[in-house]
Structure 1
Amino acid sequence: MAFSSPVQTLLVILLFLLHAPPCPASGGGSWSLLLPSIGISAMHMQLLPTDRVVIYDRTDFGISKISLRDGKCRPNSDDCSAHSVEYDVIHNSVRPLMVLTDVWCSSGTLMPDGTLVQTGGTYEGDHVVRVYKSCDNCDWHEIPSGLSQPRWYATNHLLPDGRQIIIGGRQAFNYEFYPKTSATENAPSLPFLVQTNEPNIENNLYPFVFLNTDGHFFIYANDRAILFDYVRNQVVRTYPTIPGGDPRNYPSTGSAVLLPLHIVQGEAADAEVLICGGAPKEAFINANNGKFDRALNTCGRIKISDPNPQWVMETMPLARVMGDMLLLPNGDVLIINGGSAGVAGWELGRDPVLCPVIYRPSNPIGARFEIQNPTTIPRMYHSTAILLRDGRVLVGGSNPHDKYEFGNVLYPTELSLEAFSPAYLDPISSRLRPYIISQRTVIHHGERMFIRFEVSCPVDPKLVSVTMVAPPFNTHSFSMSQRLLILDAGNTTVAVGKSHYEVSVMAPTSVNVAPAGNYILFVVYQDIPSEGIWVCIQ
């Protein structure tokens, strides 16, 4: 959608201000602009154990606003701009990276050794596997035929054995693994993806995938879900259709999380999934005809480990499509980004939702949602968000166009990075904030950990907990391999000096509960988390 005169542009801005849903009384949180431009629009993001973030968009948007290093250009091209960057969280700086093939709408997972393995894309990139290991001079390494099937809009998840599974994608009704165990390893079919595919709409792309505590995968697409044994290629359980039957996956894009897993003596209790937002069944067709339906304002919550699982529906204070759901260190869920009308796709979303919302899973129904303070920057289609080790949330992206568009459009291409600081980072909470003094960085399943920390006020042992967060790969409103463990601390916290304490917790005993790899460990006191430290479960 383009506009030809300054008067029309002004009218568009006024229209946006009138149609951005107002935030009711806000609960808290604050925003800060980190960088006005990183040179590209952050369509995909992954936090690495080096406190750096790999960010990329796509290679055919046109010339970006950041040049490749040392006068380099992409092969067989006059494009000498970067389409991927590494953001250094500590130094608040970016470094351009060279990506060779098109990574548009791809997927990925952080591997146990801290390497990002990213898969697929489109055009010449749909069979490509790309590997990124962070260092001062590292760059992407590409494996041209790393995939057996084209993967575009697929979902990845880390496996208990340290590999990753890649599920679905456009017209890819199957799944595969990386790395392969043999050169002849194929891509088994997954009929569930055929059953959930709608002609000319799909509504089953970027399926929501979570590793259950029994080692099977919960897979949600469109309006339904299965529990899937990927080893035997069998559906173990079919879950009830979500009430209302409206689609929740791309392009009717909602979001989902596996709620925090409570770990007692190394064992996990019930596993629950929360799915929020999306768009009505007719929304995609209507949006393509210029009618932008209101987004869904409902969430569905289900105990996927229950013998007789049933959906429990809740109502969000703000309807939302294209929102992101992130697990915060204290066990809360942050719902952020997106719009309140339309669907995902070029020019198909409307009415930005500027206010994040906090969801508190342990509160009673009716007291779980709290609206937060708003940003001033719309984050629509192709926006992203990830949790940082210091507890802030990094927010970037938004480009609902098939190229870079910076003026005379309803929602210009956004190159900035912001940080949202939840209320637990408010200065008023500083006296309650733990500071981790010592903890081993390598731990083993079932091992007891003794974590020393400092708090400036007297500590009630019953209010101390330890959490571990697996940093996910985020794109298109879904955070792949996202996982948060709440380790039961009981009454184990003891004083070991003035303002110094030690808490004892047991690491999960099973790779099905906590796959080997990198986690951010936090000590939480009265819902106020410490700054996290990187640990590796082996």
Structure 2
Amino acid sequence: MLLQFILFVQFTLFTPPSPLHADEGGGGGGRWELLQNDVGVLPMHMQLLHSDRVVIFDRTDFGTSNLPLPEGKCRMDPNDVALKLDCTAHSLEYDVASNTFRPLMVQTDVWCSSGAAASDGTLVQTGGFNDGDRRARVFKPYPNGSDWEEIPFALNVRRWYATNHILPDGRQIVIGGRRQFSYEFFPKIGGASRTYSIPFLAETTDQFIENNLYPFVFLNVDGNLFIFANNRSILFDYARNKVIKTFPAIPGGDPRCYPSTGSAVLLPLRNLHARAIEAEVLICGGAPKGAYNKAINRIFVRALNSCSRIKITDSNPQWVMETMPMSRVMGDMILLPNGDVLIINGAGSGTAGWDNSRDPILSPILYRPTDPIGSRFRLLNPSTIPRLYHSTAVLLRDGRVLVGGSNPNVYYNFTGVPFPTELRLEAFSLPYLDSKCENLRPKILSPSSQTTVRYGRPLTIRFNVNITSGVRLDTVAVTMIAPPFNTHSFSMSQRLLMIGGEYVTKVRNVAATWDVHVSMTKSSTITPPGYYLVFVIHREIPSKGIWIRIV
């Protein structure tokens, strides 16, 4: 399952300030760690699987990578524009626990493609360039190792720069792509092959620029899709191929999709047992109108410093504008276990595309959705590594964010260019992982990882936490996340849910141990089937996660 979810259960007995707010006046926080100096393959696309391993891949027509395939393995591709015979890898599997990686073999070009994790945990990846544009590829996270399997002609049309989203029935919808104003499904029901037109994608295309590639897509609480392209958005009934609602254009009219690449998240969904559930979308960064053509002519326009937030379930929805601490294009927005949003990677000027950006933004930003407007942003500690075009970021089970990529060049160029190809892999530890939070960090005792849970059924999570004298267990949360597919500054199917009305009980005769009681949602529209990470949160500080599967 590609959808990212958080089930948030909050109990307020007494609310002392969180240690995460103690130094917010001075800013800063967070810690960077170099994990690998050279993984050999550019992390253009990344997906965390329930095996606690991250699948990484770039494109096959770069020429050779820095990671050789196992002896005796070579890719023979007569359609490749760089090499017909290539004995280097263009994909790898990174083992988070051991900080090691192994090469994988992908046969066709996965450049600027899309994907999702299916309900059985298999990574399904679709489209790409050249001989890969109609392919689907699957990677099954077997414990003893596996490799990519390819399905020829799995897509009806060529899909390059498309967006995938998991649906309530477990299928993926594949939307758009370069010069493709349509959508289709994978897998096809009963083998049926059909493509559905969506004129909205044609209407939002700029001549020669597009600005509607990798559209932002979210599953709304009513089962319809919110689709944002360029500077406009609709609510779309994919089953009936019908536009339900047209939203106002973003104030200012500047584009936010590729190549004027901003990023977007669906903010936490609350009150899920109410008759009317509210849903909000947040879109941050991007590039002004005309910035792409100017960047091609080596004029790098300052990126946008605005965020736009809209309640898509309102009868008369309007965008509310906010200002980030700095301008940013090609930033990644990652939902965190405690409900905050991390904005990371990107540049201060230019756009996406080959050598089209300048002024790397090294400092991440934390966005707190429930804080008062005007005080939601917090600047965090910077990295030393520029992360520009083709950078990626994904949340890990231990609460860190894995960061890789950056290749503003046509090929693997390590010298003689403003920003060389970047093969280093980093982890960013959020302020909630600081040592000052250690005594407040919960530890999950049960259930065990890989537990299966059914819709609508109760779930009890037992945990302990070191509570010092005079400190009460005032705020507890259970968070449940299905990590998304990340590429080109968008985490496909990212989603967060907040569920209330449950309770916490103290475990008798066991020190510092509690049970938190939750119920699984009954609707696959809210929680499509698949693997999820479960965290316990105490005063905004997450435990390490465990994996469960919802069926």
- TM-score under structure 2 length normalisation: 0.91
Q: Distance in 2 between matches of 1:139 and 1:26?
A: 44
Residues 1:126 and 2:133 are matched in the alignment:
yes
**Structure 1 residue matching 2:278: 3-state secondary structure:** coil
- Aligned-partner residue type, residue 484 of structure 1: L
Which residue of structure 1 lines up, in the alignment, with residue 183 of structure 2?
A: 175
Q: Distance in 1 between matches of 2:478 and 2:58?
A: 35
Q: Distance in 2 between matches of 1:269 and 1:503?
A: 24
Which residue of structure 1 lines up, in the alignment, with residue 101 of structure 2?
A: 94
Q: Distance in 1 between matches of 2:371 and 2:530?
A: 31
Which residue of structure 2 lines up, in the alignment, with residue 30 of structure 1?
A: 31
Which residue of structure 1 lines up, in the alignment, with residue 488 of structure 2?
A: 476
- Deviation by residue 1:95-117 (Cα, 9 ceiling, x = unmatched): 00000000000000010000000
- Aligned-partner residue type, residue 536 of structure 1: R
Relative to structure 1, the CA distance from residue 316 to residue 516 in structure 2 (aligned partners, 3 Å threshold; closer, same or farther) is: same
Which residue of structure 2 lines up, in the alignment, with residue 508 of structure 1?
A: 521
Q: Cα distance, 1:490 vs. partner? A: 4.9
Residues 1:253 and 2:261 are matched in the alignment:
yes
Farther off after superposition, 41-50 or 481-490: 481-490
**Structure 2 residue matching 1:487: 3-state secondary structure:** coil
Q: Distance in 2 between matches of 1:365 and 1:388?
A: 29
Higher relative contact order by CA 8 Å / sep ≥ 6: 1 or 2? 2
Q: Cα distance, 1:489 vs. partner? A: 5.9
Relative to structure 1, the CA distance from residue 387 to residue 453 in structure 2 (aligned partners, 3 Å threshold; closer, same or farther) is: same
Q: Distance in 1 between matches of 2:473 and 2:496?
A: 21
Which of 442, 458, 462 is equivalent to 2:452?
442
Relative to structure 1, the CA distance from residue 243 to residue 254 in structure 2 (aligned partners, 3 Å threshold; closer, same or farther) is: same
Q: Cα distance, 1:149 vs. partner? A: 0.8
- Deviation by residue 1:67-99 (Cα, 9 ceiling, x = unmatched): 001231102433100000000001100100000
Which residue of structure 2 lines up, in the alignment, with residue 533 of structure 1?
A: 546
Q: Cα distance, 1:310 vs. partner? A: 1.0
Residues 1:42 and 2:43 are matched in the alignment:
yes
Which residue of structure 2 lines up, in the alignment, with residue 487 of structure 1?
A: 499
- Aligned-partner residue type, residue 451 of structure 1: I
Farther off after superposition, 464-473 or 112-121: 464-473
Residues 207-218 of structure 1: pairs in structure 2 closer than 5 A: 207-218=215-226
Which residue of structure 1 lines up, in the alignment, with residue 110 of structure 2?
A: 103
- Aligned-partner residue type, residue 482 of structure 1: Q
8 Å contact kept, 2:168–2:529: yes
Residues 449-464 of structure 1: pairs in structure 2 closer than 5 A: 449-457=459-467, 460-464=472-476
Residues 45-124 of structure 1: pairs in structure 2 closer than 5 A: 45-76=46-77, 77-124=84-131
Q: Cα distance, 1:519 vs. partner? A: 1.0
Q: Cα distance, 1:439 vs. partner? A: 2.1
Relative to structure 1, the CA distance from residue 266 to residue 91 in structure 2 (aligned partners, 3 Å threshold; closer, same or farther) is: farther
Relative to structure 1, the CA distance from residue 145 to residue 271 in structure 2 (aligned partners, 3 Å threshold; closer, same or farther) is: same
- Deviation by residue 1:346-383 (Cα, 9 ceiling, x = unmatched): 00011000000000000000110000000000000000
8 Å contact kept, 1:465–1:486: no
Which residue of structure 1 lines up, in the alignment, with residue 390 of structure 2?
A: 382
Q: Cα distance, 1:264 vs. partner? A: 4.7
- Aligned-partner residue type, residue 124 of structure 1: D
- Aligned-partner residue type, residue 106 of structure 1: S
- Aligned-partner residue type, residue 33 of structure 1: L
**Structure 2 residue matching 1:484: 3-state secondary structure:** coil
- Deviation by residue 1:108-136 (Cα, 9 ceiling, x = unmatched): 00100000000000000000000000123
Q: Cα distance, 1:137 vs. partner? A: 2.8
Which residue of structure 1 lines up, in the alignment, with residue 146 of structure 2?
A: 138
**Count of residues in Structure 1 that have an aligned counterpart in Structure 2:** 515
Which residue of structure 2 lines up, in the alignment, with residue 418 of structure 1?
A: 426
Q: Distance in 1 between matches of 2:30 and 2:192?
A: 51
Give the gaps of 5 or more residues in structure 1. Answer: 1-23
Q: Cα distance, 1:444 vs. partner? A: 1.8
Relative to structure 1, the CA distance from residue 267 to residue 115 in structure 2 (aligned partners, 3 Å threshold; closer, same or farther) is: farther
Q: Cα distance, 1:484 vs. partner? A: 2.0
- Deviation by residue 1:261-315 (Cα, 9 ceiling, x = unmatched): 2255598831111000000011011111111000000001111112221111100
**Structure 2 residue matching 1:262: 3-state secondary structure:** coil
Which residue of structure 2 lines up, in the alignment, with residue 346 of structure 1?
A: 354
Give the gaps of 5 or more residues in structure 2. Answer: 1-24, 78-83
Q: Distance in 2 between matches of 1:167 and 1:146?
A: 14
- Aligned-partner residue type, residue 112 of structure 1: S
Which of 429, 433, 441 is equivalent to 1:433?
441
- Aligned-partner residue type, residue 158 of structure 1: I
Q: Distance in 1 between matches of 2:493 and 2:549?
A: 15
8 Å contact kept, 2:467–2:473: no
- TM-score under structure 1 length normalisation: 0.94
